Structure 1
Amino acid sequence: MQEKKLTSVSGYIFLLFAIGCLALAVLTLVVSIQEYGPFPAIVLFIISIFIFKGIVIIYPNEGMAATFFGDYVGTMKESGLRWVNPLYNKTKISLRARNLNGQMIKVNDKMGNPIEIAAVVVWQVADTAKALFEVDNYQTFVQIQSEAAVRFLASSHAYDNMEDENSQEGATLRDNTGLINKFLEQELDERLGQAGVRVTEARISHLAYAPEIAGAMLQRQQATAVVSARKQIVEGAVGMVEMALERLEQKGVVRLDEERKAAMVSNLLVVLCGEKSVSPVVNAGTLYN
């Protein structure tokens, strides 16, 4: 079912005509009831009620879907005072953007780790015919399908790539937020399209490990950070030792055999990589004694 436009006319003329018929009915009932009886007044009163029934008020960003004995006639989106066939069954529907603040749910990610995740979805009705007639309740449909999309997204991606920090296999929920939000929008568009709903924006609003594994994962992250920091320190220290040996050899300050070089490298690495400050030992004798 596709949305189609409902033709309508301005309601101000019909409003004036209905008020005139109602006033004329009252006047006829008062003045001519003895001569013509109440029948003309009743007819005018029914005509005015019939015209009043066809007058509708459409607010900005609002639509009105009309059916005629069960058949969908069309949707009117022109704002203001409008008039349509009084026999139409009219249903108003909001076209404004709405926020869905999803509840926090617990789900297993791609690696099987339990995580907590929630999303905020901005959506609006784009096709009133689908929203009203393709699904039972489009608002409930949006809520349930949004939760299902978040569950599917979380189970299709890992929370974090802890095994290999340099791996490029797929996006993770924590490190690729922008890409994950795009995936969520695409998934919601596919699910909510049949209800005539367009997703304007979708973002992950909450993401964390479940409490039962949060402590263990925090220790793991801290250990990974320590190893990464130590790796950088060692790489820097080795470079500084290499530079020191090269400068000593170029300047000819002192000549060291392989054993003394090994001792010097060991001492420099201890100084550069150690966590505590080092107390120097002054050799009062010769270099080799």
Structure 2
Amino acid sequence: MKEEKNVKVTNGYVALSVLGVFLLTMILGIALFKNPFFLGLLVVILFIAPGFFTVNPNGSKVLVLFGAYKGTVRENGFHWANPFYSKQRISLRARNFDSERVKVNDKVGNPILINVIAVWRVRDTFKAAFEVDKYEEFVRVQTDAAVRKLAGSYPYDNFDDERAELTLRSGMDEVNDALENEITERLAMAGIEVMEARIGYLAYAPEIASAMLKRQQAVAIVAARKKIVEGAVGMVEDALEQLSRDNIIEFDDDKKASMVSNLMVVLCGDKEVIPVVNTGSLN
């Protein structure tokens, strides 16, 4: 037996009625006939009584008789089964798992902090009860292992590997799908269904966070400067072309170089330019 087997057991209210009949018979037999034989019914009553149990909504009871798995009761309500059955309660409700933040190395070796949020539930009660020891602890350990493996499979970003199209920071949908598949594969042997898994927290480790922040700022500044220079060059080209087309002034190479230099300083400088009025000749 490697899979769950659903079984039906006796309705608890029917068994309770039978127990009431035995109890009433014993009391009346002793009271009316003064016959100690009716005390034998007490043994039957004591045998029946431990067999009662309840199953709550989204709950189950795993029945085992002297080490042999007999089945799982999933039907909600009040039931009675063989009193010699041991009854292990296993919840079938969906549960959240918010892992601790762990420090791992990404694909390029940068230390990062990461945690995962997973939603899971028991799908196969036999596997959860007998294939692993303490399935809830198994979920925790295997989820942490999956997170560590995932973090080592992708770079945090593409600063160190510009050819990396998929990173932990930018490819969240694909990374979360890969994480869910990895956790599902690991927990399948315990009969656990993973309903959702996603990265809940992602950041550089504190020892390199400051340096990486400066790095990101530098990249942003360089990108902004590049745009500014591209725009400034276009504006200078337009200005020289319009001045030449309208015959406002004739430029030789030295004048063009001087004008281009001045315009680039004005357009690309990060401080306000103070104009200087030239009252003499441009030569």
User: Could you say if the C-alpha distance between residues 168 and 79 of structure 1 is closer, same or farther in structure 2, counting changes exceeding 3 Å?
Assistant: farther
- Note closer, same or farther for the CA distance 1:168–1:26 as it changes in structure 2 (3 Å cut): farther
CA contact 1:8–1:83 (8 Å) conserved in 2: yes
Inter-partner Cα distance in structure 1 for 2:11 and 2:236: 88
Aligned pair partner of 1:72 in 62, 69, 73: 69
Note closer, same or farther for the CA distance 1:91–1:249 as it changes in structure 2 (3 Å cut): same
Aligned residue number for residue 41 of structure 1: 39
Within a 5 Å distance, the mapping from 1:56-205 to structure 2 comes to 56-163=53-160, 167-205=162-200
Deviant stretches of 4+, over 6 Å? none
* Equivalent residue runs for 1:264-283 within 5 Å: 264-283=259-278
Counterpart-to-counterpart distance in 1, 2:40 and 2:250: 124
- How far off is 1:89 after superposition? 2.2
Code of the aligned partner of 1:254: I
Q: Which residue does the alignment assign to 1:27?
A: 28
Counterpart amino acid of residue 89 in structure 1: S
Structure 2 counterpart of 1:229:
224
Q: Is the 1:95–1:124 Cα contact (8 Å) retained in structure 2?
A: yes
Distance in 2, matches of 1:178 and 1:83, equals: 48
Instruction: Please tell me whether the aligned partners of residues 157 and 170 of structure 1 are also in contact (alpha carbons under 8 angstroms).
Output: no
Give % identity: 50
DSSP 3-state at the match of 1:112: coil
Whole-angstrom distance in 1 between the partners of 2:243 and 2:46? 107
Q: Deviations over 1:118-159 (max 9, x none)?
A: 222221111101000100110111111111111111111111
Structure 1: which amino acid aligns with 2:191?
G
Q: d(CA) in 1 for partners of 2:6 and 2:165?
A: 44
Deviation at 1:256, TM superposition (A): 2.3
C-alpha deviation, 1:38, in angstroms = 1.9
Q: State the aligned residue count.
A: 282
Alpha-carbon distance in structure 2 between the residues aligned to 1:12 and 1:252? 107
The amino acid of 1:214's aligned partner reads A
Counterpart Cα distance in 2 of 1:278 and 1:130: 75
8 A contact 1:24–1:41 mirrored in 2: no
Q: Is the contact between residue 121 and residue 202 of structure 1 (CA under 8 Å) also seen in structure 2?
A: yes
Structure 2 alignment gaps of length 5 or more: none
SS at match of 2:202: strand
Indicate the residue corresponding to 2:207 in structure 1.
Answer: 212
Match of 1:55 in 2: 52
Question: Is the aligned partner of 1:15 residue 2:16?
Answer: yes
Q: Where do 5+ consecutive residues of structure 1 fail to align?
A: none
Deviation at residue 161 of structure 1 after TM alignment: 1.4
